[in-house]
């Protein structure tokens, strides 16, 4: 039809096109690209862990092998003695294998009539939410793997050459889980963690921490002895100014460790927050804001139920006292076999159902790598949660 306006057509092409192995109606080619862009934007803007740990792309395989090499010793050479390598056979070598879990998917069916009647861009909104869902799952798996590694010994454990393992540090002292929100106790824990990483020979490059939002905001405030807020914390990078100080995105760095906030870290058996009424209880006594909905204050699920990889990500009881992570990028690894990728129905399927299924997918697997690079913070008890 001459002069017809086809907003979804690529250069007015109406013939079917093949994109990513799928046949797409020509008049919808650009709609798919919009969905792809929105999904990727939602994923990238909401995942923290992807840029903070080791990430590898897996091709034509189900797992990836990581090699550890232990330290070696140096000694003086004796005149006339041949140098044939250390007699103890150093360095010791061990391996770590990370497998890919089952396919992660997030999808929605978009009815064509709903798009016609909607007064907003329905597909764009759904695409962002799909990206959020994948990013949330990605971070949760990565952070649980880091917490797991903080409780492990090094895979290199040869006699005389055992490498250091993970670290657990208590925030505060005694049985008050509310110590997890105390800025003074948190700062002390950070310096203890930095010293432990130094002592275990972990590089200072790429050290980060991930705390719950309430912990992060507590660090942004400067309080007097009675707990009254007197101003902005001196921990904030003074190069950041204006709205950055008030938005919760002020740059905090403690002992060379850059601090991030996330609702996806394991936190007292839940994700990011746990509400309680008593400061002496195992609950951290955070005030409940009410009207939480179904996605806040949720228990950590059993992530091993529907995945075929070999990683045990743990259950809620494994993180009963966990309240923050400090790590260097070698602490954990993520292998990605697929994605994040986008798929959508088209052609006859769209005609039959008068709509499209929009789907984002991701095939990945996470696990700890170098336990020495992981530090788990805990509170409310005097010893951390056990290894699993």
Predicted confidence (pLDDT) per residue in 161-184, tens digit: 888 999 999 999 888 888 999 999
Alpha helices in the chain (DSSP H): 29-46, 112-117, 122-149, 183-199, 213-220, 243-246, 347-353
Give the residue carrying structure tokens 């075929």: 308
Higher pLDDT: 302 or 315? It is 315
Average pLDDT of span 5-18: 49
Average pLDDT of the residues of the chain: 80
Give the separation between CA 99 and CA 329, rounded to whole angstroms.
19
Residue 89: per-residue pLDDT = 67
Q: Per mean pLDDT, which of 19-28, 88-97, 244-253 is the most reliable?
A: 88-97
HSE (side-chain half, CA atoms, 13 Å) at 110: 24
Higher pLDDT: 382 or 344? It is 382
Q: Per mean pLDDT, which of 63-72, 208-217, 350-359 is the most reliable?
A: 208-217
Cα-based torsion angle of the residue sequence 270, 168, 146, 94 in order, rounded to the nearest 10 degrees: -150
Residue 142: per-residue pLDDT = 95
Locate the domains of the chain by residue range.
17-68+89-378
- CATH code of domain 17-68+89-378: 3.90.1690
Residue 225: per-residue pLDDT = 54
Please, are residues 29 and 19 in contact by the beta-carbon 8 Å criterion? Answer: yes
DSSP secondary structure letter of residue 100: -
Please, are residues 375 and 97 in contact by the beta-carbon 8 Å criterion? Answer: no
Please, are residues 218 and 179 in contact by the beta-carbon 8 Å criterion? Answer: no
**What pLDDT band is residue 88 in, cutting at 50, 70 and 90?**
low
Average pLDDT of span 280-292: 74
SS3 324: strand
SS3 155: coil
The 10 Å Cβ neighbour count of residue 96 is: 17
Residue 222: per-residue pLDDT = 65
Give the separation between CA 172 and CA 255, rounded to whole angstroms.
18
Give the separation between CA 295 and CA 136, rounded to whole angstroms.
12
Residue 278: per-residue pLDDT = 52
349 has a pLDDT exceeding 70: yes
Give the separation between CA 118 and CA 3, rounded to whole angstroms.
26
pLDDT > 90 fraction of the chain, expressed in percent and rounded: 36
Strand pairing report for 207-211 and 257-261: parallel
Class of residue 120 by CB neighbours under 10 A (exposed 0-12, middle 13-18, buried 19+): exposed
Cα-based torsion angle of the residue sequence 312, 49, 58, 364 in order, rounded to the nearest 10 degrees: 50
44 has a pLDDT exceeding 80: no
Residue 317: per-residue pLDDT = 92
**What pLDDT band is residue 303 in, cutting at 50, 70 and 90?**
low
Q: Per mean pLDDT, which of 12-26, 66-80, 296-310, 332-346 is the most reliable?
A: 332-346
Give the residue carrying structure tokens 């951290």: 284
Class of residue 73 by CB neighbours under 10 A (exposed 0-12, middle 13-18, buried 19+): exposed
Please name the residues in contact with 208: beta carbons below 8 A apart, sequence gap of 6 or more: 52, 257, 258, 259, 260, 326, 327, 328, 329
246 has a pLDDT exceeding 50: no
Residue 326: per-residue pLDDT = 98
Residue 227: per-residue pLDDT = 54
Overall size of the chain counted in residues:
388
């Amino acid at each position: 039809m001459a002069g017809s306006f086809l907003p979804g057509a690529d250069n007015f092409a109406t013939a079917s096109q093949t994109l990513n192995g799928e046949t797409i109606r020509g008049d919808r080619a650009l709609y798919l690209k919009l969905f792809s862009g929105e999904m990727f934007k939602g994923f990238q803007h909401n995942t923290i862990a992807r840029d903070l740990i080791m990430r590898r792309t897996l091709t034509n395989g189900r797992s990836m092998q990581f090699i550890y090499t232990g330290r070696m010793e140096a000694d003086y050479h004796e005149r006339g003695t041949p140098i044939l390598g250390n007699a103890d056979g150093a360095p010791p070598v061990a391996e770590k294998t990370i497998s890919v879990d089952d396919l992660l998917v997030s999808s929605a069916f978009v009815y064509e009539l709903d798009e016609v009647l909607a007064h907003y861009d329905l597909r764009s909104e759904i695409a962002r939410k799909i990206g959020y869902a994948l990013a949330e799952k990605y971070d949760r798996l990565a952070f649980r793997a880091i917490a797991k590694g903080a409780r492990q010994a090094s895979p290199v454990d040869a006699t005389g050459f055992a490498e250091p393992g993970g670290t657990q540090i208590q925030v505060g002292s005694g049985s008050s889980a509310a110590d997890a929100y105390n800025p003074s106790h948190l700062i002390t824990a950070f310096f203890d963690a930095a010293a432990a990483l130094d002592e275990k020979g972990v590089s200072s490059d790429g050290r980060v921490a991930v705390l719950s939002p309430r912990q992060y905001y507590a660090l942004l405030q400067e309080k007097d002895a009675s707990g009254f807020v007197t101003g902005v914390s001196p921990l904030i990078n003074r190069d950041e100014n204006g709205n950055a100080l008030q938005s919760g995105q002020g740059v905090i760095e403690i002992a060379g460790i850059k601090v991030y906030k996330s609702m996806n870290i394991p936190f007292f058996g839940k994700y990011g927050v746990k509400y309680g009424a008593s400061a002496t209880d195992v609950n951290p006594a955070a005030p409940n804001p009410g009207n939480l909905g179904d996605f806040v204050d949720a228990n950590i699920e059993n992530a091993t139920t529907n995945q075929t990889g070999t990683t045990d990500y743990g259950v809620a009881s494994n993180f009963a006292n966990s309240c923050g992570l400090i790590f260097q990028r070698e602490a954990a690894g993520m292998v990605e076999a697929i994605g994040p990728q986008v798929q959508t129905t088209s052609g006859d399927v769209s005609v039959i159902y008068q709509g499209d299924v929009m789907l984002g997918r991701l095939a990945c697997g996470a696990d700890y790598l170098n336990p020495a690079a992981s530090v788990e913070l805990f509170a409310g008890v005097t010893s951390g949660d056990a290894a699993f």
